[in-house]
Structure 1
Amino acid sequence: MINSTQVSYFTLSAYTDTRLLRYLYFIIIMSIYCSIICCNILLIMVICMNRSLHEPMYMFLCSLFVNELYGSSGLFPFLLTQILFDNHTVSASFCFLQIFVLYTYVNIQFYTIAVMSYDRYLAICCPLQYNTHMTSNRVVILIALTWLYPFLAIFILISLSASLQLCGNTINKVYCDNYSIVKLACSDTTVNNVYGIVYTVTLVVIVLAIFYTYLKILKVCLFGSKQTRQKALSTCTPHLASLINFSCGCFFEIVQNRFNMKHVPHMLRIFLSLYWLTCQPLFNPVLYGLNLTKIRITCKNIVFGKM
């Protein structure tokens, strides 16, 4: 993928000499990573072991939790290694691999939330047609599409970036970022920019479609029975909270990439660049585990050995 005219490694310049604080950062990052692994694996086990949770909504949730593990594994082990060592260089091949993992994680996250909003729309707005539309085969197809399409789209994005001739090899981040690499290019980046715009607009359309779906659900709830409103609130609140949290994190990252943020404190810039990749995998298990009754009860049964 990478030809001989390109650099062989990249330097991540956002790391600073933390000296003794590096061990504190290491413990904090390690604690977050362990919490993400434990919480997501627990919820995957809960859904797989309890037959009453073998419903479309929980299958989509299981796919979401698997994606959290996938995305976290593309970032946290790398961060932990970089914190402990003074040499913050990474090979070009590994850098593009990390970009592929992180960007596919983001896409799968948005598409899975979109599919979940469609599932909730059918369950609340068209309950009599739900079993007809949301069959087992359709669930499998939707989950497969939420994974396969991002893999294809990001593969094309990485291929375009990897073919560029670069004038430098310094990335002002603590992890590899596609936009930072494109900014280093000496060659024409028109195709990259057009594809990037299409890619971004597609995600924006997906987010708007999700919000539109929930507005339709809200409209039904306003004119529905008390039981309908309670069902909608209990199942849709976690989805909306997850979407808003992740969208805000992505917005912080886009703003930081596109605008000069030198006036913002260095540590705050690092936190904002990591927020969308670190908080969501920890936020989702807690959110769904606390708000969805079936998952909460099954978790208690597993933890306290009642199952």
Structure 2
Amino acid sequence: MDKELNVTYISLGGYVEVEKYRYLYFVIIFIVYVLIICCNSTIVCLIGIHQNLHEPMYIFIAALLINSVLFSSAIYPKLLVDFLSEKQTITHSMCHFQFFMFYSLGGSEFFLLSAMAYDRYVSICKPFHYPNIMNKSTVSVFLVLAWLLPACQIAGLTSFSSKRTICNFTLKGIFCNNSIYELHCVSSKLLSVYGVIALLNIVFFPILFIVFTYAKILILTHRHTRADRRKAAQTCLPHMLVLINFSLLCTYNIIILRLESDIPKTASLIMTLQIVLYHPLFNPLIYGLKMKQINKHLKTLFTLVSLNK
């Protein structure tokens, strides 16, 4: 491969014995991807079909589940192609596009959870003002900002990184994340600072806002009756579980990137796959089981399917 082709194509060096286990890898990832699409789409369709679910809380849940499908679609199709390919490569431009999608949609997850936290705060603590505050315009603005703000920040980071000269043409992982910085001939302090600022804006500050909001809800509802406290806990718990799960996976991702050179290749592959396997299935599972209205419609759907059989 000549120099110009090397600049264009990057080898993905994180795969382990693809020739031996390619079909096993393919079947597992394919089944998980189908489950992700089906589980998330089912709940999104239920929210769209049933009029009593056309409330801000359920609209944000639908947006979160759509985000999970998009997040998975940025990773899974390329994994499936790589498992069946003789060589696991990706173009330099597509690598940065995958990097952009991975972190942009990951940031949108935190922004959508922030919107949910605010929605729960207004609903529980300011119930009489809820219809005026959380109207269609407000919900639309929150949804646009949830996808636009992370995308703008990651777009700048992606553009800056893509213009850097690369001297290494083998990525240690199986998809493009922060490991692409190791491809650069010279590390950039400006890129590192930009990355930290983006991390604070799309991850750290939203998490602080969410924790502060739910803490305020708990403090205010503590003065109310036990029934009110239970109701508040039931509506906030699913969102908190999703937040905790995704935050742990993000932390897990950072740890893997830091330790990538110090851990065996097989362990690195297994740990990396866990990041993209669990969360897209965790969201519909939590909302399907913990949200009463969604759970009720799911049971009705399953009953109808069973009767038709």
Q: CA deviation at 1:304?
A: 2.7
Give the Cα–Cα distance (whole angstroms) in 2 for the partners of residues 167 and 19 of structure 1.
Answer: 28
Q: CA deviation at 1:219?
A: 1.4
Give the Cα–Cα distance (whole angstroms) in 1 for the partners of residues 270 and 61 of structure 2.
Answer: 27
CA contact (8 A) 1:5 1:165 kept: no
Structure 1 residues without counterparts, runs of 5 or longer: none
Query: In terms of mean alpha carbon deviation, does 103-112 or 223-232 score higher?
Result: 223-232
* Corresponding letter in the other structure for 2:181: V
Give the Cα–Cα distance (whole angstroms) in 2 for the partners of residues 214 and 145 of structure 1.
Answer: 21
Provide Cα deviations, 1:88-141, integer angstroms capped at 9, x if missing partner. Answer: 111112111111111111011110011101111111122222122111110111
Aligned match of 1:228: 228
Q: CA deviation at 1:40?
A: 0.7
Q: Percent identity?
A: 34
Aligned match of 1:75: 75
Query: In terms of mean alpha carbon deviation, does 74-83 or 186-195 score higher?
Result: 186-195
CA contact (8 A) 1:246 1:276 kept: no
Secondary structure of the equivalent of 2:165? coil
Q: Does 1:8 find its partner at 2:3?
A: no
Q: Does 1:181 find its partner at 2:183?
A: no
Alignment of 1:288-299 (within 5 A): 288-299=287-298
TM-score by length of 1: 0.93
* Corresponding letter in the other structure for 1:201: L
Secondary structure of the equivalent of 2:259? coil
Q: Does 1:266 find its partner at 2:265?
A: yes
Aligned match of 1:145: 145
Provide Cα deviations, 1:20-79, integer angstroms capped at 9, x if missing partner. Answer: 432222221111111100001101100000000000000101111111111111111111
Q: CA deviation at 1:261?
A: 4.2
Give the Cα–Cα distance (whole angstroms) in 2 for the partners of residues 42 and 198 of structure 1.
Answer: 36
Give the Cα–Cα distance (whole angstroms) in 1 for the partners of residues 200 and 15 of structure 2.
Answer: 31
Structure 2 residues without counterparts, runs of 5 or longer: none
CA contact (8 A) 2:14 2:268 kept: no
CA contact (8 A) 2:100 2:158 kept: yes
Aligned match of 2:280: 281
Query: In terms of mean alpha carbon deviation, does 10-19 or 279-288 score higher?
Result: 10-19
* Corresponding letter in the other structure for 2:36: I
Residues 1:222 and 1:6: Cα distance change in structure 2 (over 3 Å): farther
Alignment of 1:152-191 (within 5 A): 152-177=152-177, 179-187=178-186, 189-191=188-190
Alignment of 1:2-81 (within 5 A): 7-81=7-81
Alignment of 1:248-267 (within 5 A): 248-257=248-257, 259-267=258-266
* Corresponding letter in the other structure for 2:207: V
TM-score by length of 2: 0.92
Give the Cα–Cα distance (whole angstroms) in 1 for the partners of residues 187 and 230 of structure 2.
Answer: 55
Q: CA deviation at 1:278?
A: 2.4
Secondary structure of the equivalent of 1:305? helix
Give the Cα–Cα distance (whole angstroms) in 1 for the partners of residues 162 and 105 of structure 2.
Answer: 19
Q: CA deviation at 1:232?
A: 1.3
Give the Cα–Cα distance (whole angstroms) in 2 for the partners of residues 285 and 129 of structure 1.
Answer: 30
Secondary structure of the equivalent of 2:7? coil
Give the Cα–Cα distance (whole angstroms) in 2 for the partners of residues 161 and 216 of structure 1.
Answer: 40
Give the Cα–Cα distance (whole angstroms) in 1 for the partners of residues 147 and 40 of structure 2.
Answer: 18
Aligned match of 1:238: 238
Q: CA deviation at 1:266?
A: 3.1
CA contact (8 A) 2:16 2:265 kept: no
Give the Cα–Cα distance (whole angstroms) in 2 for the partners of residues 102 and 114 of structure 1.
Answer: 19
Q: Does 1:107 find its partner at 2:107?
A: yes
Aligned match of 1:127: 127
Q: CA deviation at 1:274?
A: 3.1
Give the Cα–Cα distance (whole angstroms) in 2 for the partners of residues 117 and 276 of structure 1.
Answer: 24
CA contact (8 A) 2:168 2:182 kept: no
Give the Cα–Cα distance (whole angstroms) in 1 for the partners of residues 275 and 63 of structure 2.
Answer: 18
Give the Cα–Cα distance (whole angstroms) in 1 for the partners of residues 290 and 265 of structure 2.
Answer: 36
Give the Cα–Cα distance (whole angstroms) in 2 for the partners of residues 228 and 116 of structure 1.
Answer: 19
Give the Cα–Cα distance (whole angstroms) in 1 for the partners of residues 5 and 18 of structure 2.
Answer: 35
Query: In terms of mean alpha carbon deviation, does 229-238 or 31-40 score higher?
Result: 229-238
Secondary structure of the equivalent of 2:278? helix
Give the Cα–Cα distance (whole angstroms) in 1 for the partners of residues 271 and 240 of structure 2.
Answer: 21
What is the root-mean-square deviation of aligned Cα atoms in Å? Answer: 1.8
Q: CA deviation at 1:272?
A: 2.5
Residues 1:206 and 1:6: Cα distance change in structure 2 (over 3 Å): farther
